[in-house]
Amino acid sequence: MVAEFKVVEDVGTGKGMLSCVKLVYEEQYGGNVILKIPGSDSTRERFLIDDIMFSRLHNTEVDSYTFLQQHPDKNISYPKIFELEKMDTTVEPIKRGHIIMEYMSGITHLYCYDNLKPNELEEAVKNLARFHSIGQELTKVEADLVPRDFLKVWFTKLFIQSNKDLFIGTWKGEMTDWLSSEVAEQAIGELDGLLTPEIFTKLNDDCQITGVQEVLCHGDYSFHNLLYQKLSDGTFKFKAIVDFQSVNWGNAAQDLSRLFVTALSGKDRRDSEERLLKVYYDELIEVSNGKAPFTWNQLKQSYIRFFRLHGAIVCAVTPGLQKSSGKS
């Protein structure tokens, strides 16, 4: 597939693990554009992810961009889409599928050791509320395209015991000097028990268990999947959302907790999480014709439930990412 295009630069290596992303030149689209193809050899080998899963993730992203294109009134910021083709594993050879989208220049890639300030998250939080509101406007046919079992299927597959041993083993090995207290060391020992199929299933089914209305979740709303521009004064300006492979029906808090855990320092998160939740909730009411799908109290309680999961995930996987980036 890549051979069909004039590759300008490999812009995906080290910035994701589920797709091959290249900057290519395509005259019909005015020059340089982003080509995204499902599948990654390193991920396939390391995490035992097969073409069925790659296909599911890619095709979910294709459907999600289609939903976005059908709702321009929501004013959600995402790259302009030029081509969408689904992956098909039922034919031989496998049809890989692809996405061609706008190349947004001037973007600063944010890594796991970066932090944003709370005010720099406000537009991302508002855009998330707008995306969540789309779910109420999908037809039954469209809604049925969206997975309801993503959280338990994906995380159960990602956190099989061998992978947990790999992730958490990094903390127990040469990263132990990063731990500043006995409490921190004990907390790392608890990670294994937090990342279990039972917990993934319970949170996957949270809306059915608690009665909180489900929304169209992004599924991986960490700040690594948000595009930011670094301004001359050193601050960051939100530009767009990308990577809709993990979109699923679920509790809105799965996205909010993941965003706050990955984007903010511990102090900033503790000081501002309730204010940012209110920014989200007010925007959700605004774009939902004055009626949010759940109460303010339900949102706050949901956030507490999902925070433990995403806190544990970040604690488990970040050391390996730091190590591979050469940061200390």
Q: Which helix (H) or strand (E) holds 171?
A: helix 161-172
Q: Return d(Cα 291, Cα 287) in angstroms, integer.
A: 9
Task: Tell which of 51, 70, 102 closes a domain.
Answer: 102
Please indicate, yes or no, if residue 297 is contained in any of the structural domains: yes
Please indicate, yes or no, if residue 158 is contained in any of the structural domains: yes
Please indicate, yes or no, if residue 109 is contained in any of the structural domains: no
Please indicate, yes or no, if residue 223 is contained in any of the structural domains: yes
Q: What is the pLDDT of residue 181?
A: 58
Task: Tell which of 68, 102, 136 closes a domain.
Answer: 102
Kindly provide the residue ranges of all beta strands, DSSP E only, lying in the chain, ordered along the sequence: 6-10, 19-26, 31-38, 81-85, 98-102, 215-217, 226-230, 236-241, 248-250
Which domain CATH number covers 127? 3.90.1200
Mark whether 197 and 287 lie in a shared domain.
Answer: yes
The conformation of residue 229, written as its DSSP 8-state character, comes to: E
The boundaries of the domain holding residue 18 are 2-102
Q: What is the pLDDT of residue 206?
A: 98
Mark whether 35 and 174 lie in a shared domain.
Answer: no
Mark whether 230 and 125 lie in a shared domain.
Answer: yes
Q: Return d(Cα 138, Cα 134) in angstroms, integer.
A: 7
Mark whether 247 and 281 lie in a shared domain.
Answer: yes
In the predicted structure, residue 173 carries a pLDDT above the cut 60: no
- Cβ-in-10-Å burial (0-12, 13-18, 19+) of 3 comes to exposed
Task: Tell which of 102, 131, 152 closes a domain.
Answer: 102
Residue 263, Cα to own-chain centre: how many angstroms? 12
Mean pLDDT of the chain: 89
Please indicate, yes or no, if residue 228 is contained in any of the structural domains: yes
Contact assessment for residue 184 and residue 280, using Cβ atoms and an 8 Å cutoff: no
Which domain CATH number covers 15? 3.30.200
Q: What is the pLDDT of residue 110?
A: 86
Please indicate, yes or no, if residue 306 is contained in any of the structural domains: yes
Q: Which helix (H) or strand (E) holds 132?
A: helix 122-134
The number of residues in the chain equals: 328
Mark whether 31 and 163 lie in a shared domain.
Answer: no
Could you count the other beta carbons within 10 Å of the beta carbon of residue 167? Answer: 22
If you average pLDDT over residues 37-51, what whole number do you get? 75
The count of structural domains within the chain is 2
Mark whether 192 and 251 lie in a shared domain.
Answer: yes
pLDDT tens, residue by residue, 174-183 = 555 555 556 5
Please indicate, yes or no, if residue 110 is contained in any of the structural domains: no
Mark whether 67 and 145 lie in a shared domain.
Answer: no
Residue 44, Cα to own-chain centre: how many angstroms? 19
Rg (CA), the chain: 20
pTM of the complete model beyond 0.85 = yes
Mark whether 174 and 307 lie in a shared domain.
Answer: yes
